[in-house]
């Protein structure tokens, strides 16, 4: 009872109302997209989605758009291609960044802070500005070694991982700096190697930071169109398939609305599975 009364006293109605307003404004486009996906094609073309909210009982709701999206040729193949691109492009930068952040946090070597500052500075370079040099570099690799990284999944993995590393290293290093140094020193005294300390102590304690960045990276790669279109054009992903649903004259926008929600299912599952680590991982290192 006392806890309930304390929560009521601490309740700030102004802050709550502002947050609810922001959530409502942020959700308006998504709500409109969802309503449009369930409406009849004729009604969606002749009236706004907000009219369906005003009189929901008079509307003709249908699943035709979802059925059409699921019946499109090779939609399941595009879903699998998206998973094949997204999962390695999430795991690879996390693995590499974990080793790098561990070294920047606990190992002493010359120029450590300079190297870290350089990596952080690389976050300001937009991916789009580096596409031409990257493509030329991959072509040079093919000409000199015969190894082709264009037109297959490996090229997308490489590009996504490379541009994700600066932020991943930054987030993980900030979190690892909050770990107890005494525990690391005690492990060293007991004869544990740096490799053992990394896998048995640091990584288990860094799960919140790893999970928080995994959410970001998974969502970025899953929703990516540009990299997949350039490097994996022969194996279309979901974003490319959704664009094809629009049609030559843009008359398939209702199918795009339905396809977008089908594409949302996996990111939503990933977010809710890892969201308990999200805030803890991002705010680590912000205060001492």
Q: Which domains does the chain have, with CATH numbers?
A: 2-62 (no CATH), 68-283 (1.10.3720.10)
* Alpha carbons 228 and 238: distance in angstroms, whole number: 10
Put residue 73 in one of left, alpha, beta given phi > 0 → left and psi -120 to 50 → alpha: beta
Compute the C-alpha angle 242/247/253, nearest 5°: 65
pTM: 0.78
pLDDT score of 12 more than 80: no
Average pLDDT of span 208-234: 86
Query: Is the distance from CB of 233 to CB of 151 less than 8 angstroms?
Result: yes
Question: For position 8, what pLDDT does the model report?
Answer: 52
Count of Cβ atoms closer than 10 Å to residue 25 Cβ: 9
Quote the CA–CA distance of 44 and 40 in Å, as a whole number.
6
Q: Scan for tokens 């946090």, then name that residue.
A: 105
In what helix (H) or strand (E) does residue 85 lie, and over which residues does it extend?
helix 75-106
User: Which band of pLDDT confidence, cut at 50, 70 and 90, is reported for residue 288?
Assistant: very low
Cβ atoms 232, 78 nearer than 8 A:
no
∠ CA 83-85-89 to the nearest 5 degrees? 110
Q: Which whole number is the average pLDDT over 170-193?
A: 87
CA 37/CA 96 separation, integer angstroms: 41
CA distance 195 to 202: 10
pLDDT at 90: 93
The answer to whether residue 70 scores a pLDDT higher than 80 is no
Tens digits of residue pLDDT in 85-98: 999 999 999 999 99
In the numeric block, the tokens 């492009």 are attached to 89
pLDDT at position 37? 82
- Look at residues 61, 14, 59, 12 and name the one whose alpha carbon lies nearest to residue 258: 61
pLDDT grade, residue 101 (50/70/90)?
Answer: very high
Rounded to whole angstroms, the Cα distance separating 210 from 285 reads: 14
Q: How do residues 121-177 score in pLDDT, each as one tens digit? A: 888 888 888 888 888 888 888 888 877 777 788 888 989 998 999 999 998 998 898
Of 140, 142, 206, 219, residue with least CA distance to 174: 206
Query: Rounded distance, CA 113 to CA 106, Å?
Result: 12
Per DSSP, the residues of 97-159 read: HHHHHHHHHH---TTHHHHHHHHHHGGGS-GGGGHHHHHHHHHHHHHHH----SSSHHHHHHH
Each residue of 227-257: pLDDT tens digit? 888 888 777 888 888 877 776 666 677 778 8
């Amino acid at each position: 009872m006392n806890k309930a009364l304390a929560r009521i006293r601490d309740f700030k109605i102004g802050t709550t109302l502002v947050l609810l307003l922001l959530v409502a404004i942020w959700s308006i486009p998504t709500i409109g997209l969802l309503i449009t996906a369930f409406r009849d094609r004729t009604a969606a073309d002749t009236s706004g989605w907000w009219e369906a909210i005003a009189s929901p009982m008079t509307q003709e709701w249908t699943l035709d758009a979802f059925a059409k999206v699921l019946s499109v040729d090779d939609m399941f193949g595009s879903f699998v291609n998206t998973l094949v691109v997204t999962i390695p492009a999430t795991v690879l930068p996390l693995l590499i960044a974990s080793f790098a952040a561990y070294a920047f946090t606990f190992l002493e070597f010359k120029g450590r802070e300079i190297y870290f500052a350089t990596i952080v500075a690389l976050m300001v370079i937009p991916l789009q500005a580096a596409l031409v040099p990257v493509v030329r570099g991959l072509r040079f690799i093919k000409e000199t070694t015969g190894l082709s990284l264009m037109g297959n999944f490996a090229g997308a993995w490489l590009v996504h991982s490379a541009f994700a590393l600066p932020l991943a290293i930054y987030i993980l290093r900030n979190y690892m700096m909050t770990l107890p140094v005494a525990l690391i020193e005690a492990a060293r005294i007991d004869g544990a190697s740096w490799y053992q300390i990394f896998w048995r102590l640091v990584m288990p304690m860094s799960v919140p930071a790893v999970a928080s960045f995994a959410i970001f990276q998974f969502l970025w790669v899953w929703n990516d169109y540009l990299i997949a279109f350039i490097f994996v054009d022969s194996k279309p992903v979901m974003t490319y398939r959704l664009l094809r649903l629009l049609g030559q004259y843009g008359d398939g926008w209702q199918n795009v609305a339905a396809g977008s929600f089908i594409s949302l299912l996996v990111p939503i599952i990933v977010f809710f599975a890892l969201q308990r680590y999200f805030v803890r991982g991002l705010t680590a290192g912000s205060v001492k």
